[in-house]
Structure 1
Amino acid sequence: MKIRKIIAVVLMLFVSVFGFAQGGKKLDKIIKRDYTIIECTIAKMSDQTVEYSMPGETLQISLDVSQIARIDFASGRSQTFDISPGGTSQPGSSQSITAAEMKPNTIAVLPVPYVNSDTQQGSEDMAKFAQNDMYNKLLDKSANIFPLTVQDLRTTNSLLHKAGIDHTNIDETPIADLEKILGVDNILAAKISYTMSTSSTASTYGSGSTTVSNNDKKIKSNDYSTTTANTQIYYYYNVYFDMYKNTNKIYSQTRKPFLNLKDSWIDSITYLLKRSPIYTKK
C-alpha cells in the first residue's frame, strides 16, 4: 500500500512539474508594421513567409514578412525586417524594393482610400478619382507651393504598383518606406470615410368625385390621383488629411464637410489644402 501511495505522489509531482514547464514556456514575439504584437511559437521561416502557431494550438498560420517589422525570438535573438537604404531588404524580407532616385523638394500624392465605414468596403475608382483631384489642385496652384514640385501621377502610381502597394494597403506602409520607393521628400496622404442615409418623401395630387347638372341631367366625374415619390441620399464624410516632410508629419487635420452631398468631400480637400503649411498666398 505504501509503495502505491509513493508511486501516486511521484506521478502527481511529475505531472505538476511538466504542466508548470509547459505553462512557463517562453514565446516568440512578432512585431508587425502596424505595431500589433503576436506572441507565438515560430515553426518555419522563408524569404516570403513566417509560419507560426498560437499558444495551445497546433494549427500553423502563415504571415507575409512584408508585414513584419521585427521578431524577438524566445532565445533572446532579434531580427529586423526594415528596408535598407540601398534598395534591398534585410534578411527575411519578402521582396527587394528598389529605392528611387531622391528628388529634393518634390511632393507625391498617394492613392486616397475611399471607404464606407458601415461595410468597410473601399472603392478603387473613387480612390483614383480623389487622388487625381488632389494632384490637379496642386498643379493648378504650383505657384503657391513653390519651391515644391509635384511628382507626375503616372510615376507615383507606377512605382507603387511595382512595390505591390495600392489604395487597399497604403495605410499599412510606413512613410519612410514610401519616400524611398517614390524618391520624394514630401508626401500628401488623405483618407475619406463615409456613411450614407436615405430620406423618402411622397406627394399626391388629384381630385375626388363631383356631381354636376347639365340640362337637368346629373353627371358624375371619375376620381383620379397621382403620387410622386422622391428619395434623397445623404453622405456623411470624414476627411483625413496628412502631410509629411522627410518622414516627419508636418500637418494633420480631420474635417467634416458642411453639406451632406455626394461630392462634398471635395470642398474639404480644397479647404485643408489651402491651409496646409506648403501653401502660400500669392
Structure 2
Amino acid sequence: MRTKLLLCLFIALVGLNTNLSAQDAADVVYMLNGETKKGKVTAVHEDNIEFIYSGEDLNYDIKKSEIAKITFSSGRTQVFNEQPAAPTAMAAPVSATTAASRKNKLAVLPFVMVSNDQGLMSEAMSGQVQQTAINSFKKNTNQVIVQEAMTTNAILLQNGLDPTSIKTMLPKDVASLLGVEFVVYGTANIEFEGTRTSGLSSTTYKNDKDKDKRKGRELTSNSSTTTTNYDTTIGLTIVSDTGSTLYSVNRNGFGSSLDTYEGTLSYLIKRCPWGTKRK
C-alpha cells in the first residue's frame, strides 16, 4: 500500500514538472537590430507575425522585414532575413619596407586645409599645397630624396587613407607604409578676410592751338582695382620612422594674396633640418 502511494506521488510530480516545463518554453524572435523577444508567436502572415510577450496578454504585430529568425518552443528555427555580418576591424596597413630601404627618403602628406572659404577646403587645393611643398623640398634641401606626390597618394588610397583618417595611425607606421624615413605633416589655414577696392583718378588738358592748360579742355579718367585678402598660416611637422619629431613650426605668412602660402612654405622648408638656411 505504501509502495503504491509513493509510486502515484512520483508520477504526479513528473507530470507537474513536464507541465511546468511546457509552460516555461517560449518562442524566441531574433530581430535584425540584435534585439531578442521571448513569448509566443500566435500567427504568421505574409508581411508580419502576431506575437505575445511572456507573461502578457496583448497581441503585437511585428514586420517580417525586421526579423532575422524565430526559434520556436518546439526547437524548430525559421529564418526570415540573413543577420548582417558584424563589421570586421580593418587590419593595420602592412609594409614590407625596411629601415635601410627607407633611408633618407621623405614624403609629404596631402595638406589639411582649414578655411572659412569652402572653395579652399577641396581635395584639389590640398593636393596643390602638397605639390608646392614637394617642389620646395626638392629645391631648398639637401641630403633627402623627396617622394613624388603621385606615389604617396596612391599608397594612401590603396589603404583607404586620407588627410583625416591618417591621423589614426602612428607616424612611424605611416613612414613604414610609405617606404620613407621622414614624413611631413602640413596644415594650411587660409582665412578669407574680404575684398578691398582702390581707385585712381587723373586729369589732363588738351589745347590744339597753344596748349594753354587754362584754356584747354579738361579730360578726366578713372580706374579702380579690387583685391581679395587672405590671412595665411602654415604649419609643418616632420616625423621620422622611429616616431621622433624632428621639426615642428607654425608661421603666419607675409602678404594677403591667395598664393602667400607658397612663400611661407619656402621660408619654413629652407630652415628645416636639411634646408639651405638651417641654423
Give the TM interval when normalised to the shorter protein.
0.5 to 0.7
Corresponding letter in the other structure for 1:238: T
**Offset of 1:136 from its aligned partner?**
1.8
1:233 maps to 2:219: no
Name the structure 2 match of 1:97. 93
Post-superposition Cα deviations, 1:76-110, rounded to whole Å, max 9, x if no partner, equal: xxxxxxxxxxxxxxx95224523241322211111
Post-superposition Cα deviations, 1:46-103, rounded to whole Å, max 9, x if no partner, equal: xxxxxxxxxxxxxxxxxxxxxxxxxxxxxxxxxxxxxxxxxxxxx9522452324132
Segments ≥4 residues shifted beyond 6 Å: 224-227
Q: Is the 8 A contact 2:247 2:273 kept in 1?
A: yes
1:180 maps to 2:179: no
CA distance in 2, matches of 1:198, 1:100: 51
Which stretch of structure 1 is more off in the superposition, 111-120 or 263-272?
111-120
**Offset of 1:270 from its aligned partner?**
0.7
Name the structure 1 match of 2:131. 132
CA distance in 2, matches of 1:252, 1:173: 18
> Which of the residues 142, 146, 149 maps onto 1:145?
142
Name the structure 2 match of 1:266. 262
Mark the CA change 1:171 to 1:118 in structure 2 (over 3 Å): closer, same or farther.
farther
Q: Is the 8 A contact 1:198 1:234 kept in 2?
A: yes
Name the structure 2 match of 1:115. 114
Mark the CA change 1:253 to 1:205 in structure 2 (over 3 Å): closer, same or farther.
same
Matches within 5 A, 1:17-28: none
Corresponding letter in the other structure for 1:131: Q
Q: Once the two structures are aligned, what percentage of the paired residues are identical? A: 25
**Offset of 1:278 from its aligned partner?**
2.4
Gaps of 5+ in 1: 1-42, 45-90, 207-220
CA distance in 2, matches of 1:120, 1:232: 17
SS of residue in 1 equivalent to 2:181: strand
Matches within 5 A, 1:146-225: 146=143, 148-196=144-192, 197-202=194-199
Q: Is the 8 A contact 1:163 1:181 kept in 2?
A: no
CA distance in 1, matches of 2:128, 2:244: 26
Q: Which has the larger radius of gyration?
A: 2
Name the structure 1 match of 2:249. 253
Corresponding letter in the other structure for 1:133: T
CA distance in 1, matches of 2:197, 2:151: 45
Gaps of 5+ in 2: 1-32, 35-86, 204-216
CA distance in 1, matches of 2:255, 2:274: 27
CA distance in 1, matches of 2:169, 2:92: 15
Corresponding letter in the other structure for 2:110: P
**Offset of 1:112 from its aligned partner?**
1.3
